Chains A and B, each alone.
Chain A
Amino acid sequence: DTAVSQTPKYLVTQMGNDKSIKCEQNLGHDTMYWYKQDSKKFLKIMFSYNNKELIINETVPNRFSPKSPDKAHLNLHINSLELGDSAVYFCASSPLAGGVETQYFGPGTRLLVL
């Protein structure tokens, strides 16, 4: 069974489109994250939710909107996609918030904006 799953795995789209990436974890964890990894492999946290509540909201364009319908799911919606949004987006989960426990990463969604 996959612990943290993301869909889709690959996403190719045109500038200006709106797209969503879904994430689900079956580990029973309370905390979920979205990370962006750019072409230089720099890993940057975007958002974190704990029990469906937003607890980390880094400086990202407001075109990015996370949504957590329940604590097992954290989706990422991106409006008006730009070339610079091309990256790999990783979802992760951990038992608790606070950066004191292991984070389990999903396989990543490779987004390419043309």
Chain B
Amino acid sequence: QQPVQSPQAVILREGEDAVINCSSSKALYSVHWYRQKHGEAPVFLMILLKGGEQKGHEKISASFNEKKQQSSLYLTASQLSYSGTYFCGTRTNSGAGSYQLTFGKGTKLSVIP
């Protein structure tokens, strides 16, 4: 089951903040965040596994809510290098030890001077 990402696109001026959300109707086992620049491969940002978890990487951080159905990616004081498409990837359990790995449709972030 594909997670829902919002917004689909956002334009920021350098120094502004943004939040990207990733939601699921089912509890998630894990959430990954990736950034993909045009013509390049997705690059891992961070992974969250526990409800209520928050993680940070310089000015980019993420949270996973207690119910494990929503994760948010926070980009603060954005830089031009933050431009790209951000994807959340999720694992949901299907029962009997099996699971699914799916990605959201992506959020295109453009940072302008």
Contact = CB atoms under 8 A, between A and B. Distances in A.
Contacts of A43: 42, 87, 89, 103, 106
Contact of B44 (A40, A41, A48, A102): A102
A100 B47 contact: yes
Given A41-B106, A42-B105, A98 B91 contact: yes
Nearest to A48: B101
Interface size class of chain B, counting residues whose CB lies under 8 Å from the partner chain: 20 to 34
Contacts of B90: 99
Contact of B42 (A42, A48, A105): A105
A100 B41 contact: no
B61 interface: no
Contacts of A99: 29-30, 32, 89-91, 99, 101
Interface of B: 29-30, 32, 36, 40-44, 47, 49, 85, 87, 89-91, 99, 101-103, 105-106
14 contacts: A41-B85, A41-B105, A42-B103, A42-B105, A43-B42, A48-B101, A98-B99, A99-B30, A99-B89, A99-B90, A102-B32, A103-B44, A104-B44, A105-B42
